[in-house]
Amino acid sequence: MTVSQHSPRFSQYKALSFDCYGTLVDWENGLLQALAPLLSRLPEDHTLRTSTVDALSVFQKAKAGIMQRHPTMLYTAVLRKAYEEIAASLALGVTEHEAEAFSGSIQGWQAFPDTHEALHRLNRHFRLAILSNVDNESFRQTLAGPLHGVHFDVICTAEDIGSYKPAHRNFEYLHSKLHDQFGIDRSQVLHVAQSLVHDHVPAKELGIDSVWISRGKERRSGMGGNLDTLQDRVSFSWRFHSLDQLATAVEEESS
């Protein structure tokens, strides 16, 4: 892992692009709650019940494989298929109602406590954009629910793009939209995300400046990748534990 040596300033950027789930919305707790009906049928000492990281890692592996095989599949369908694959691998049966409930669980995922205020503070300095691995209806539900009242100038979903991050075309699509609508060049866009695998690895490959919001996942993470194994493949200009810390750093620089 490298941290930028050229001491960039926030003032050189005109837009912040955000990953949503994991960065703004707590998808790990949301997914664990949604997985609970399935995992509760395992023995109490089973690793998927005793380790949340292991449970999330199993889900992430199933989800990533589905996304790679079916890049245009809607996110809700990806969730459902991942749930069914995990159940099959554990020799557990799944009811239609249970699979459907899991596929729609995204509407119940909650924003991190600092998300709303931090986004409003950052919006005083930058245009805000979303680059998310979901479908349009799922993000609409999130925007009407946990992110209600937050304004984004550009919203780019996997459904719109036809592929999932870490595909490079997702970032290229975002930058094209920002340039076409606001005249903002890619060098003026700072990407903000928690996931190393989905966001910071492709950001380094594409030469995109980024901020890591670690959300307490400094080392082992079930969803976003592990820093110990990915440190040579990621590079970010700043690293903060929370979005609130990023907003504070921006305000301190501009004061």
pLDDT 10s digits, 160-194: 999 999 999 999 999 999 999 999 999 999 999 99
pLDDT, residue 5, reads: 45
Which comes out higher in pLDDT, residue 187 or 228? Answer: 187
pLDDT, residue 224, reads: 56
Domain boundaries along the sequence of the chain: 10-26+110-254, 28-108
Angle at 225 between CA 190 and CA 91, to 5 degrees: 140
164: how many CB neighbours lie within 10 A of its CB?
26
Longest dimension (CA), the chain: 59
Q: How confident is the model at residue 230 (pLDDT cuts 50, 70, 90)?
A: confident
Catalytic residue among 19, 26, 135, 209: 19
Question: pLDDT digits over 80-109, tens only?
Answer: 999 999 999 999 999 999 999 999 999 999
Candidates 103, 69, 56, 106; CA nearest to 84 is: 103
pLDDT, residue 183, reads: 99
pLDDT, residue 216, reads: 78
Q: How confident is the model at residue 42 (pLDDT cuts 50, 70, 90)?
A: very high
| Whether residue 128 has pLDDT greater than 60 | yes
Q: How confident is the model at residue 125 (pLDDT cuts 50, 70, 90)?
A: very high
139: how many CB neighbours lie within 10 A of its CB?
24
Fold assignment, 28-108: DNA polymerase; domain 1 (1.10.150)
Q: How much is the mean pLDDT over the chain? A: 93
Torsion, Cα 212 188 123 163, to 10 degrees, reads -60
Mean per-residue pLDDT, 190-205: 96
Residues 6+ apart with CB under 8 A from 230: 1, 196, 197, 200, 201
pLDDT, residue 114, reads: 98
pLDDT, residue 227, reads: 77
Residue 160 is among the residues annotated as catalytic for this protein: no
Q: How confident is the model at residue 6 (pLDDT cuts 50, 70, 90)?
A: low
> Which CATH class for the 10-26+110-254 domain?
alpha beta
pLDDT, residue 170, reads: 99
Candidates 48, 41, 44, 45; CA nearest to 91 is: 41
pLDDT, residue 217, reads: 62
pTM over 0.85: yes
